[in-house]
């Protein structure tokens, strides 16, 4: 719940930056997983879910009132 409060306070630019960062992180995690270098495979799921939360807030802020 605390994450949602923090995300709702961010502006659209900050959310876009967080989205870009999470996408890069997810790419790196997938490459590490494919190369059998990933220790914690659950980190892929956590990153995907965090990205979904960010995208939800981006879509809400883009909606016309």
pLDDT of residue 5: 73
Query: 32-57 burial by CB neighbour count: b if 16+ within 10 A, else e?
Result: eeeeeebeeeeebeebeebbebbeeb
pLDDT category at 2 given cuts 50, 70, 90 is low
Q: How deeply is 11 buried, as exposed, middle or buried, from its count of CB atoms within 10 A (0-12, 13-18, 19+)? A: exposed
pLDDT tens digits, one per residue of 7-64? 889 999 999 999 999 999 999 999 999 999 999 999 999 999 999 999 999 999 988 7
């Amino acid at each position: 719940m605390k994450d949602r409060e923090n995300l709702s306070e961010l502006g659209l630019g900050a959310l876009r930056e967080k989205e870009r960062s999470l996408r890069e992180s997810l790419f790196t995690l997938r490459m590490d997983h494919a190369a059998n270098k990933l220790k914690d495979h659950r980190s892929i799921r956590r990153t995907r879910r965090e990205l979904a939360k960010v995208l939800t807030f981006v879509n809400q802020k883009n909606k016309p009132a």
